[in-house]
Structure 1
Amino acid sequence: MRLFTLLICLCLVTPVWAQKHQISSKELASVDAYVQQLMKDWRVVGSSVTIIHKDKVIFSKGYGYRDLDKKLPVTSRTLFGIASNTKLFTAMGAAILHDEKKLDLDKPVRNYFPEIRFATTELDEKLTLRDMLSHRSGVPRWDGVWSGSGYSLQEIVDRLQYLKPTLGFREGYLYNNNMYAAAGAVTARVNGTTWSELIRQRIFEPLEMKHSYFSFEDAAATGEFASDYFVSLADSTIKTHTKDAHCDCWAPAANIVSSSEDLSHWIIAHLNGGTYNGRRAFSPKALAETIRPNNIASKQMVFDEVFYGLYGLGRSSTSYKGHVIVSHGGVISSYRSQISIAPKDSIGIIVLTNTAQGSSMANAAVYGIYDRLLKLGETPWSQKYQMEYKKGLREAAHEADSLRGLQIKGTRPGHDLASYTGKFEHPAYGTMEITLTGEKLHLTFRDRSQDLEHFHFDQFWAAQDPEYPILFNGRLMRLQFLTNGSGKIDRIRTGISTDPEVEFVRK
């Protein structure tokens, strides 16, 4: 509790001179040169960077290409998937309804959505929208449930009852996209619309965000949607990423596609009490509700310059070199985004990229821009993030090597290969199918299709992808086939993505 209080106090303290600081053309030129260097450092194909000061855009520039093959440049109107920055809109939608007393963020969500069920009685009886929007349910990510599923939003809500918590209720921070999806469904129910209609009517329209969309398909139809890319881990070449299929299931958590031009309206409203171009979208009270800390997001400091993080509703806050920073990042397909506000300094920064390595570039850009605009001294952020990136690759490789080290050499499968085939089902994940082609078992799960290699005894693992040597978001997928009392294989125990292990039962 003492740490929580200290964090809040530090986030409220900002030097008075910073609030009066005027930004010069020389400082903006320095920003431009800095971003150009970051593009080279991280091999980012395309990026859009916009800076807002008070109620005006003072810098907006596209870098690189939205389509590398056609050499189409990025502009301020180029569309990018903003991924988890969608959460800011979902949280604001809830805060607006709370402000209008149409719902109470601190009342159990079953007051508004009676049929919703969770994995424990305590969550059924006590879980609130504030809990869901500040990641304090105690339920881990379970991203494998929705990723590539094709589920509807309602189908995700129906599956929450199978997603068990790993922390006590309100005992910590566990980021959870499924809870955000469900929170969006709750606000839609209260508003009497769909979630997208709520956001469009209450936020997009008053903020004149006329070129923001709720699906990749709608964005692509405009001709302004950036292609997305990644740097292959196999041969270091830049390759086009196959976009993830649109799925309503993650809409309130990650679906919005927008441009830095449209998002600048959103930031201007944040810096001006919820008003853009003379029209109010949300009240200062609703805005304050989203920023007010409810949870401690990080209990260790990765960098000395950035203090421990707090989490409000759809955004985190911290102290950067003594300045309050309210921000959120986003990752979907190979799109990376960072939307950051220094409220006491009346500065907002938007960085959108179309390359998988762009997360580090976007983070380095935001901190480096603050350094230059606020005269904080120029920390070598690109080098710092390069060190963290390489550390992450080493740790992922070490995890894979550690798994291989557990292998008992010289063993054979305990059954003939045909015995492992069939369809296996889990109530949240759906169906996994194992087939046999020649002497090779093959796994099909949603949009994933992989050969299986024998590990030892009745364990197999998914063959590695040469582009991504570490499968399923940094984790090799190992399948343990289990038998019933008759010695017949009737279950598969495995973990999808970084989710806890579960059992798929033969259909």
Structure 2
Amino acid sequence: MDLSTQYSGFSYRWFFVFLLITRLAAAQSTNDDGNFRQLDQRTRQLMDSAHVPGLSIAIIRDNKLAYSHGYGLTKVDSTQHVTSSTVFEAASLSKPVFAYAVLQLVEEGKLDLDKPLYEYLPYPDAADDERYQKITARLVLSHRSGFPNWRKNRQSPKLSMLFSPGKRFGYSGEGFVYLQKVVEKITGKPINDVMEERVLKPLGMTNSGFVWKASFNANFAQPHNESGNVEPKYKPTQANMAYSLHTTANDYARFVLALLTPTGLKPATVSQMLSAQSQLPKRFSDSTTLAPDLFWGLGIGLEQPSSDTYIWHWGDNGAFKCYVTAHLSRKEAVIYFTNSTSGLDFADELLRLTLGGQHPALGFLGINWRDEVRKRVSK
């Protein structure tokens, strides 16, 4: 065979390979379009049933943003539709973003995960109980600080401990507030500046902020209580790492992508962040019975049913509810935000439609859409 025939055969072979790949890609795109249409239809049904005025969703597939969409209204009695650019309260989805910045300080040698925070900054609020001096950044990020979620009197300067640091899992926003103060001491900067410089700007989260920005005023979601009534909108002037992040589904997807393909942190650091630090109970309200497949990493939850590993977190600021789950090896994720007290009721259905798989975290949070439907029907 002469060279012309050889190269001709080579070219034909690669032409057919290229054609096959193109057709497969087109078929996949068509399939995705059909799936997303079904998702749109079902999401609207779920929102109607749960009386959720607005929802924004972002879906990651093959390590890139594959789909984003807004549903419903920013306010029940308005005509402004939710879009991919609508700003929602991220609530506790603030915590993983803060953990990401904390781990940057760890990489730089400015913060030791296992050094007592007391040695960086004594905390007068907890000074009545010397056990607090054993709290470390690792224990805060894995929710083993011993602090309650929030003190009984939010105006009180006194913070009591529920158990000795490191003893067990105990979800705590108070721990994140203490760690926030330590980070401010270490960096010599207000925490909002730290987060803007280290996370939001580098990741391109241009529609996000831990304090209210004037740019949010054009397109933000209003909160709705369990009666469907609009509540006053919280517009933070002080950043709180436990709950004050305001963002969009697309912006939060940028953060998730930075974990799936480590960006801004070394792969080894992200691996540590996404490794089990503490074991969770089967139910959030019951600390006695441990779940065999639920854990907490450094700032984010872990589900490990069978051989799969998902990362997850939920957000609950009362009249704002949100959820994120990502499959580590498939590089897939779903992020959604709602402006309703009922926004988490159908998280299980959205996960079934988008990611599939088993999600024991839903049981931990007590989320079961079918039970919620039965409750409403029986009333």
Structure 1 residues 467-482: aligned runs within 5 Å: none
What 5-or-longer segments of structure 2 have no aligned partner? 1-27, 286-290
Secondary structure at the aligned position of 1:145 is classed as: coil
- In structure 2, the partner of 1:223 is 218
Separation in 2 of the partners of 1:254 and 1:383? 21
Higher RCO by CA contacts (8 Å cutoff, separation 6 or greater): 2
Matches within 5 A, 1:473-492: none
Are the structure 2 counterparts of residues 255 and 39 from structure 1 closer, same or farther at C-alpha, using a change threshold of 3 Å?
Answer: same
The structure 2 residue matched to 1:368, chosen from 341, 353, 359, is 353
| 2:172 paired with 1:163 | no
Contact 2:123–2:178 under 8 Å retained in 1: no
Query: What's the TM-score, normalizing by structure 2?
Result: 0.80
Q: In structure 2, give the amino acid aligned to 1:291.
A: L
The code of the aligned residue for 1:97 comes to L
1:457-476 equivalence runs, <5 A:
none
2:123 and 2:284 map into 1 onto residues whose CA distance is 41
Q: 1:119 & 1:142 partners in 2: Cα distance?
A: 17
C-alpha distance in 1 between matches for 2:355 and 2:330: 10
Residue 172 of structure 2 is matched in structure 1 by 176
- Tell me the equivalent position of 2:202: 206
Paired residue for 1:296, among 279, 284, 289? 279
Offset at residue 387 of structure 1 (A): 1.5
The answer for the alignment partner of 2:193 in structure 1 is: 197
Instruction: Indicate the residue corresponding to 1:444 in structure 2.
Output: none
The residue aligned with 1:456 is none
Match of 1:311 among 296, 300, 303: 296
Q: CA deviation at 1:188?
A: 2.0
SS at match of 1:328: strand
Corresponding residue of 2:112: 104
Give 1:246's aligned residue: 236
CA distance in 1, matches of 2:94, 2:252: 11
Show structure 1 runs of 4+ deviating over 4 A: 388-392
Paired with 2:234 and 2:325, the residues of 1 have a C-alpha distance of 26
Shift of 1:71: 1.3
2:314 counterpart (320, 326, 329): 329
Instruction: Give the CA deviation at 1:75.
Output: 0.6
Cα deviation, 1:365-421, whole Å, max 9, x if unaligned, reads 1343212xx799xx9xx99334168779x9xxxxxxxxxxxxxxxxxxxxxxxxxxx
Structure 1 match to 2:130: 121
- The structure-2 alpha-carbon separation of the partners of 1:51 and 1:333, relative to structure 1 and needing over 3 Å to count, comes to same
**How many aligned positions are there?**
337
> Given residue 241 of structure 2, which amino acid in structure 1 is its aligned partner?
P
Matches within 5 A, 1:393-432: none
Residues 222 and 269 (structure 1), Cα distance of their counterparts in 2 relative to 1, 3 Å cut: same
Which whole-Å deviations, capped at 9, do the CAs of 1:324-349 have from their partners, x for residues lacking one?
11010111141111121111110011
Whole-angstrom distance in 2 between the partners of 1:256 and 1:375? 29
Which residue is 1:49 aligned to? 57
Give 1:143 shift.
Answer: 4.3
TM score, norm. by length of structure 1: 0.61
1:271 aligned onto 2:260 = yes
Which amino acid is the alignment partner of residue 183 of structure 1?
Answer: L
In the alignment, the residues of structure 2 paired with residue 346 and residue 310 of structure 1 have an alpha-carbon distance, to the nearest angstrom, of 20
CA distance in 1, matches of 2:51, 2:260: 32
Distance 1:224 1:29, change over 3 A: same
Letter in 2 for 1:348: A
Distance 1:27 1:320, change over 3 A: farther
For 1:114 and 1:166, locate their aligned partners in 2 and report how far apart those are by CA, in whole Å.
19
Partner of 1:186: 182
Deviation at residue 166 of structure 1 after TM alignment: 2.5
Q: Could you tell me which residue of structure 2 aligns to residue 87 of structure 1?
A: 95
Instruction: Give the CA deviation at 1:220.
Output: 7.3
SS of 1:180's partner is helix
Q: CA deviation at 1:350?
A: 0.7
3-state SS of the aligned residue for 2:168?
coil
Measured in 2, the distance between the counterparts of 1:39 and 1:315 equals 27
- Answer 1 or 2: which has greater strand percent: 1
How far apart are 1:168 and its partner, in Å?
A: 3.1
For 2:50 and 2:354, the matched residues in 1 are separated by 17
Tell me if structure 2 keeps the 8 A contact 1:338–1:363: no
Confirm or deny: 8 A CA contact 1:307 1:318 kept in the other structure: no
Cα distance change, pair 168–101 in 1 and its aligned pair in 2 (3 A): same
3-state secondary structure, aligned to 1:67: coil
Moved more, 33-42 or 99-108: 33-42
2:29 maps to 1:40: no
Say if 1:390 and 1:322 are closer, same or farther in 2 by CA, change over 3 A.
farther
Q: Taking every aligned residue pair, what percent have the same amino acid on both sides? A: 24
Cα distance per residue 1:103-147 (max 9 Å; x no partner): 1010011222145544422322x211111121112222234433x
Deviation at 1:54, TM superposition (A): 3.1
Partners of 1:383 and 1:198 lie apart in 2 by 35
Q: 1:383 to 1:200 in 2, by over 3 A?
A: closer
- Secondary structure (helix, strand or coil) at the match of 1:77 reads coil
Match of 1:30 in 2: 38
Aligned-CA RMSD value: 3.0
Provide the secondary structure at the position in 1 that maps to 2:176.
helix
Match of 2:82 among 61, 74, 83: 74
2:207, 2:216 within 8 Å by CA — same for their partners in 1? no
Residue 100 (structure 1) shift: 1.3
Q: Per the alignment, in what secondary structure is the counterpart of residue 94 of structure 2?
A: helix
**Are the structure 2 counterparts of residues 245 and 224 from structure 1 closer, same or farther at C-alpha, using a change threshold of 3 Å?**
closer
Report whether the alignment pairs 1:255 with 2:238: no
Render the CA deviation track for 1:280-318: whole Å, top value 9, x for unaligned. x2222232232122111224599xxx9632111221111
Would the alpha carbon gap of residues 220 and 364 (structure 1) be closer, same or farther in structure 2, given more than 3 Å must change? farther
- 2:368 is matched with 384
SS at match of 2:369: helix
Q: Is residue 296–residue 309 contact of structure 1 (8 Å, CA) maintained in 2?
A: yes
Residue 135 (1) aligns with residue 135 (2): no
